[in-house]
Amino acid sequence: MQDVFPSGSTVLWRVLRRAACSSVRRLAMTTAMTAGALALSFSAASAFGATAPDASFNDPLTTAASPSSLATHSLMVGVAKAGPNLVAVGRRGLILMSSNAGKSWTQVASPVAADLTAIRFSDANHGWIVGHDAVVLKSTDGGLSWRRALDGRAILNIILKTYTARSAAGDAVATSVMNDAKASAAQSATPGVYPYPLLDVWFANNSEGFVVGAFGLILHTTDSGVTWTPWIERTENDHMNHIYAVNGVAGQVYIAGEQGFLRRLNSAGDGFVKMSSPYKGSYFGLYIQKDLLVAYGLRGNAYVSVDEGAQWNQVNTGLSDNIVAAFPGSGQDLLFVSQAGDMLSTDRVGGSAKAFKVKRASEVYGAVPSGGAIVTMGLAGINIVSLPATAP
């Protein structure tokens, strides 16, 4: 396999990059990085090196989330539809469910206390959650219960097992991946854990899917999460950019991330290849229909393609804040939501943008249409925004 990593010491380069990022990480969480997922923050210990946990340390991967009477006012990041219900995720393992379009919520038991970053359902019953310490949770009952399907300990073992033999045989790519995994785990605040957060998840069906995350982390499964294969070297990601989004439809799968990172699954289905990217900044999300691809992200930037990314139309959003969600509006329109809580609609190809006048609550990190309104997740918890019948 072709060596897609930069020449020289990849491990040293990654360590220096992490150190450089750490000093501006707090600012980046709500500006240059994906708004919600990294608002939860990387572990401070992982930025400066691991320290031995004290006697009061509770491993977030083996500690269940605590019940909270203030759950709906806590920092929430992601939300998804599960049949007629909504399921939302946030800090410290918090999972909430609503059966009435977000008007009221019930806390669902969570097996972890790690911060959760994204949620997706492949049908009304089968759902997936990802989060910090590379945790993956799975539900087969519509989000009523969750179990841990993968975490940073298992991922570290998978990476070492996958690449050790190849490294011993002289594969330079495998050596780079393996050595970096060891260096990363050595900096983890939780011993023996691959410390990077997973930031998005998508399944084509109930069996095959991807999880993606920080520093180029990506894994693939074809057996509903029983086994996972790392695809770190299969994304033409030589700078190991964060991968913030994964989405697909009808055999087309795309991933997107920082520094204009935009890739599509190749025709063989065994790796991602570069595609035309109209923007050099960060993409935080992807919305896809069969003949429509929308990439959106930093500083109000959004682009629409109707030919699988061969050509792009820029959406004139008029926004300066990060875009955190995009989904169908009325008719053929698209609806965009910004981190500041702005909402606007455009036609199907990104033209004729019209802003709605809505009351802002707090920073928004995720949103979903439900019950004729928009349910948002944010810094101050959950909010329901009713939109006018038409934009002004």
What average pLDDT does the structure give for the chain?
A: 86
**pLDDT score at 36:** 57
Indicate the pLDDT class of residue 34, thresholds 50, 70 and 90.
Answer: low
Res 118 pLDDT > 50: yes
**pLDDT higher than threshold 50 for residue 45:** no
- Report which of residues 251 and 116 the model is more confident about: 116
Segment among 75-84, 94-103, 356-365, 371-380 with least mean pLDDT: 356-365
| Amino acid making up residue 22 | S
Q: Which residue stretches of the chain are H helix? A: 10-22, 25-29, 44-48, 152-168, 172-186
User: Of the candidates 77, 225, 79, 83, which has an alpha carbon nearest to the alpha carbon of residue 142?
Assistant: 83
Closest of 373, 351, 348, 347 to residue 361, by C-alpha: 373
Residues 6+ apart with CB under 8 A from 134: 150, 151, 152, 155, 193, 194, 195, 196, 197, 198, 213, 217
Stretch among 1-5, 222-226, 255-259 having the lowest mean pLDDT? 1-5
Could you report the per-residue pLDDT of 124-133, keeping only the tens digit for each? 999 999 999 9
**Does residue 174 or residue 42 have the better pLDDT?**
174
Of the pLDDT bands very low, low, confident and very high (cuts 50, 70, 90), residue 58 is confident
Q: What is the mean pLDDT of residues 381-389?
A: 87
- Is 169 within 8 Å of 162 (Cβ atoms)? no
And the tokens for 188?
């983890």
Residue 54 pLDDT: 59
Return d(Cα 36, Cα 19) in angstroms, integer: 22
d(CA 47, CA 143): 33
Rounded CA gap, 106 and 248, in Å? 30
Q: Inform me whether the pLDDT recorded for 190 exceeds 70.
A: yes
Name the phi and psi angles at 244, rounded to 5: -90, -25
**What confidence category does residue 40 fall into, taking pLDDT thresholds of 50, 70 and 90?**
low
Structure tokens at 371: 């019950």
- Calculate mean pLDDT across residues 19-43: 41
Residue with tokens 């949620």: 119
What does CATH list as the number for 10-44+60-318?
A: 2.130.10.10
Closest CA to 383 of 34, 69, 102, 96: 102
Neighbours of 70 (CB within 10 A): 7
The residue-averaged pLDDT of 192-200 equals 95
Whether 175 and 5 have beta carbons less than 8 Å apart is answered as no
Provide the b/e sequence for 154-164 (b: ≥16 CB within 10 Å). Answer: bbbebbbebbe
**pLDDT at res. 55:** 57
pLDDT over threshold 90, residue 197: yes
- Percent of residues, the chain, with pLDDT higher than 70: 85
Confidence label for 74 from pLDDT (cuts 50, 70 and 90):
very high
| Residue 7 pLDDT | 31
Residue type at 19?
A
Lowest mean pLDDT segment, chosen from 10-14, 139-143, 343-347: 10-14
How much is the pLDDT for 348? Answer: 82
Q: What is the pLDDT of residues 294-335, one digit of tens each?
A: 999 999 999 999 999 999 999 999 999 999 999 998 777 899
Residue 136 has a pLDDT of: 98
Domain ranges of the chain: 10-44+60-318
The residues that bridge with 354 in the sheet, in sequence order, are 345
Q: What gap in Å lies between CA 68 and CA 75, rounded to an integer?
A: 12
Cβ-contact 234, 271 below 8 angstroms: yes
Count CA within 13 A, CB hemisphere, residue 64: 11
Is residue 376's pLDDT more than 80? yes
pLDDT at 358: 86
For residues 68 and 189, the model is more confident at 68
Per-residue pLDDT of 214-254, as tens digits, reads: 999 999 999 999 999 999 999 999 999 999 999 999 889 99
Q: Are strands 95-98 and 218-221 parallel, antiparallel or unpaired?
A: unpaired
What is d(CA 163, CA 166) in angstroms, rounded to the nearest whole number? 5
